Structure 1
Amino acid sequence: MDPEHQSGCLVCGKNLKYLPEPVAAPCFYCGEMHQTDAVCQVGHFVCDRCHRAPADEIIETFCRTTQESDPLVIAETLMDTPQVKMHGPEHHFLVPAALLAAYYNVKGEPAKRHKVAQARQRAALVMGGFCGTHGDCGVAVGTGIFISLVTGATPLSREEWKLSNLITAESLREIALHGGPRCCKRNAFLAIITAVHFCREHLGITFPLHEPVTCHYFANNRECRVKDCPFFPG
């Protein structure tokens, strides 16, 4: 699989198939119906608006519409888009967005996925390179954003404040123990898995999780730790 899908289908990288007559098809990311004369070999279609969208836009659109309840599946679907690069601050938003979408789908409260937009605003304040310049990986902050939104935490909260800070600390510890240099994909996987276990313990929410994760992005990472990474194939 080509992780960035530089050609072909933006969803899976397979070749496009051009149809003799236009058909109505739902966009994979936003779900809106459009007339199209091109789908990929397995039927994926991406509308022009989503095709042109920057990373944060495609993350928000997909996470506000997906029915998926596994945050790792959501995250990997987004990581496979060309908008989401190997490394970058878009991961600071991707992590809480995937967790929020999965959380409210598990709870049967899809209307509350509007909080993904709030996560986007908060994650925008976390600068790129935070892990090296501030000693706090942005995806760990993303797990704190997620918990603060689902619990309604504020600076004056008691238990909610505790939980949002605790999940950030636990995520950051897990990321730190796996060592540098940074890998946004590895750190995002670690943060999401940590958040899943945290939600089960502290919120009583169980996500369907497709562990173990196998990374297919390593070819694009010059600093890949190879077999020292828990997600490296084999």
Structure 2
Amino acid sequence: MENKSNCLICNEELVYSTEPVKMKCMICGGEFETTVSCRNGHYICDDCHCAKGVEAILEVCSKTDSKNPIEIMQGLMRTPAIFMHGPEHHVMVGAALLAAYRNAGGDIDLGPALKEMERRGKQVPGGACGFWGCCGAGVSTGIFLSIAMQATPLTKESWGLSNQMTAAALGEIGKLGGPRCCKRDSFVAAKTAVLFVKEHLGIEMELPEKIKCEFMRWNEQCIKLECPYFRGE
């Protein structure tokens, strides 16, 4: 894994604002409203930022036989395709859960489910944790359960459980506070989902005995001992 927690162009620190401005993506040239750029004025749109990561996520999750979504995610996180932070995590959490859920006996058609996870997850923008008050990793768990249970705005039990799933994940993420860490938030979200699914659906995915973060050196905002995964829990 490379040190890609900052600007993908120059590695300069990212700067966030509360007022959006129009900027051109340095990769695709498209113009977007954004609240983030680096100190040198570079901007990368969400689609360009996560393109290689999402490709890797779909490939790995379509082939794995693991029942452990944390294990699946950690393998992906070790590759250069997944940056320290970024909207690829909004697809990765749900995709890892769908794969582990299927491998643990969940009744889903994994290929179409992963493509739908990609479509929905990519609609959750980078920075949603701070600007919307709902971390994309947490939202990804609700998308996962909605897909797994074929929820729609008109269903009953699946509608309710999908919303409860998102609320449970966001609640656990929120307890730890900020600043954001896409690795920490992804671990919290997936762990919460495994426990939630076991309780409500009776499908038993797996979790590591301890979750130990390997990525703190690349996170300049790491909360260190305040994070349970810094210690290994």
What TM-score do the two structures reach when normalised by structure 2?
A: 0.76
Q: What is the CA distance between 1:5 and its match in structure 2?
A: 9.1
Match of 1:107 among 105, 119, 126: 105
Q: What is the CA distance between 1:112 and its match in structure 2?
A: 2.8
Tell me how large the CA RMSD over aligned residues is: 1.7
Alpha-carbon distance between aligned partners in 2 of 1:211 and 1:113, rounded to the nearest angstrom:
29
Aligned-pair identity (%): 46
Residue pair 1:71, 1:99 contacting (<8 A) in 2 also: yes
Q: What is the CA distance between 1:207 and its match in structure 2?
A: 1.2
Corresponding residue for residue 80 of structure 1: 78
Structure 1: tracts of 5 or more residues without a match = 7-52
Q: Which one-letter code corresponds to 1:88 in the other structure?
A: G
Question: C-alpha deviations, 1:90-136, integer Å up to 9, x for none?
Answer: 00000000000010011176853431110000011100000010000
Match of 1:131 among 120, 129, 132: 129
Alpha-carbon distance between aligned partners in 1 of 2:3 and 2:64, rounded to the nearest angstrom:
21
> CA separation of 1:233/1:166 partners in 2, compared to 1, >3 Å: closer, same or farther?
same
Counterpart mapping for 1:184-199 below 5 A: 184-199=182-197
Corresponding residue for residue 148 of structure 2: 150
Residue pair 1:56, 1:90 contacting (<8 A) in 2 also: yes
Corresponding residue for residue 203 of structure 1: 201
Alignment length, in residue pairs?
Answer: 186
Alpha-carbon distance between aligned partners in 2 of 1:176 and 1:169, rounded to the nearest angstrom:
10
Counterpart mapping for 1:20-35 below 5 A: none
Residue pair 1:72, 1:210 contacting (<8 A) in 2 also: yes
What TM-score do the two structures reach when normalised by structure 1?
A: 0.76
Between structure 1 and structure 2, the one with the greater Rg is: 1
Corresponding residue for residue 59 of structure 1: 57
> CA separation of 1:204/1:108 partners in 2, compared to 1, >3 Å: closer, same or farther?
closer
Task: Verify: 1:98 aligned to 2:96, yes or no.
Answer: yes
Q: What is the CA distance between 1:233 and its match in structure 2?
A: 3.4
Q: Which runs of at least 4 in structure 1 moved beyond 6 Å after TM superposition?
A: none
Residue pair 1:131, 1:182 contacting (<8 A) in 2 also: yes
Corresponding residue for residue 15 of structure 1: none
Corresponding residue for residue 174 of structure 2: 176
Residue pair 1:64, 1:114 contacting (<8 A) in 2 also: no
Structure 2: tracts of 5 or more residues without a match = 5-50
Residue pair 2:3, 2:84 contacting (<8 A) in 1 also: no
Question: C-alpha deviations, 1:139-162, integer Å up to 9, x for none?
Answer: 111000000001000000110000
Q: SS in structure 2 opposite 1:216?
A: coil
> CA separation of 1:108/1:131 partners in 2, compared to 1, >3 Å: closer, same or farther?
closer
Alpha-carbon distance between aligned partners in 1 of 2:139 and 2:106, rounded to the nearest angstrom:
26
Q: SS in structure 2 opposite 1:54?
A: helix
Residue pair 1:63, 1:113 contacting (<8 A) in 2 also: no
